[in-house]
A and B are shown apart, each in its own frame.
Chain A
């Protein structure tokens, strides 16, 4: 991106003043190198978002932002329903409530040594990953609707995981206001074989080692210690969410004109929050959130079973579960006035700080864990939300490294088998059914996650707590 087009506010904040159809400015967070690396399309897409009805304050891009469809990935935008504000299916994305959860094991690398390759093999065998590998759980119509209404709360009641997990999931494990009837029969059909599956693309289950601690006090409060083994799961709402996105994107494209919304790009398709389509989408999207929460809860349960077989009595308590493709109803202070807004985070993580009333008790003092997935070669991060009043972009932070190269370019540059061997030499075991899938997800195809996280901290979006190094990677 050409920095000449931007107004520089400080070292990590850039701004595009409103012009043309823009109703508010666009704000891009990141250091100079990261912003330069961003495609011009990010600015273009952000300016388009800034032109949507009812947008409040600004359209924001996180330091890991990259060119998406309609909204940039790494984009945040809030809308006021009483000022004609909209909800956008494209602004949430196809993988509704895709997110990350991390479980603590209390083990160290030394404890893993005696089980050798069995842990990786059993995880790969137990957790269905990739196209064509279906789960063993089949829900009938009634159970499916109960899952869509209940999320992780439903999953725990069905025996997947423990009651105490729920306080460590956003919204207590269940999005309020989910409407299973607003979800099409096709979406439900698509979900049927996919409950408890990881999916493919950038989704994974990793066994990781905490190799660097940046904020010892917060790390201690989170239960993280140097050398500890943790288990991290990255996946979303599977076929159900994809189909909800597909169904409502189309419906909103067709309905936009009727609502008097002139779209600069069809992918920005949206509907007034107060419209019939808008309300129905919110009900379906929340059902999609619940599907993702239930799905991650089930996968965690499968991982716990594997660990319990190899380490009898081990419990794997949940650190936290965050979602990074959502639209949520939240209260925020804007120019000194509290307003209830619908905040879209597309490839961005909510990052509530210490004292936030919506946070569960364990995180009131230090802020919530903000879990950042990296690429399989470089590692992931645990960040924490900043103190209220210092939060920016409606209390949002980055979600991952963000792609630097397309899948197309990655496949031309790397070969899956070689990458698996190279990572093995570095002590990282990769289990994946598709070598091409590994090549598309090559560590070099991603931006430097460390630089992304440093920029997020410098920009005041969140603060660094710990770095996680992958040891075992299970991919689709």
Chain B
């Protein structure tokens, strides 16, 4: 695992043979979680194509950071599937291992968004939540598509 990008905050997809890796980084654990959620959207559609207009509240709690990350992404995957929505903006607060967040998005419009894939779930493969030596936080895992 390495982070070659120097920006203080951002997201990217990384390669996994069958699936897709999602990675986010930022100045805090919260920002890294917000960015990895953007990467989740980017696996499906260009996030700039998603209008962040309807808020959805999400809460989860886990015994450690890695499970919390997987829970967070799975909560978003669940909301996307059951509400048929895509999300383009996120605000995350974490206290200990309890996460409270708002995701803003819009209903999926197949003609407008032309979504590339449907995400089945977040996995524990390549999972990491950690502070890098330069002080930035990194959050990542592979999602099954």
Contacts and interface: CB of A to CB of B under 8 A. Distances in A.
Interface of A: 39, 41, 66-70, 73, 90, 93-95, 130-134, 186, 189-190, 192-194, 199-201, 239, 242-243, 245-246, 249-250, 253-254, 265-267, 269, 403, 406-409, 433-437, 440, 476
B117 A250 contact: no
B121 A94 contact: yes
Given A190-B78, A246-B74, A403 B121 contact: no
B80 to A, nearest CB: 8
A90 B67 CA distance: 15
Contacts of B144: 69, 93-95, 242, 245
Contacts of B66: 266
19 contacts: A39-B17, A68-B125, A69-B144, A95-B120, A131-B44, A131-B117, A134-B84, A201-B118, A201-B145, A250-B67, A253-B124, A266-B127, A403-B18, A408-B14, A408-B16, A433-B114, A434-B114, A434-B116, A440-B116
B124 A200 contact: no
A249 B124 contact: yes
Given A266-B124, A267-B123, A407-B145, A435 B114 contact: yes
Interface of B: 13-20, 44, 63, 66-67, 70-71, 74, 77-78, 81-82, 84, 108-111, 113-118, 120-125, 127, 142, 144-145
B132 to A, nearest CB: 21
Given A68-B18, A70-B124, A132-B115, 18 more contacts: A90-B123, A90-B124, A131-B44, A131-B115, A132-B84, A194-B81, A200-B116, A200-B118, A242-B120, A246-B122, A249-B121, A266-B66, A403-B17, A408-B16, A436-B114, A436-B116, A437-B115, A437-B116
A132 B108 contact: yes
A408 B20 CA distance: 7
Contacts of A245: 120-121, 144
A409 B14 CA distance: 10
B117 A201 contact: yes
B48 to A, nearest CB: 14
Contacts of A69: 19, 123-125, 142, 144
Contacts of B74: 246, 250
A254 B124 CA distance: 12
B123 A200 contact: no
A148 B126 CA distance: 33
Contact of A131 (B13, B63, B108, B125): B108
Given A133-B110, A254-B63, A440-B116, A406 B121 contact: no
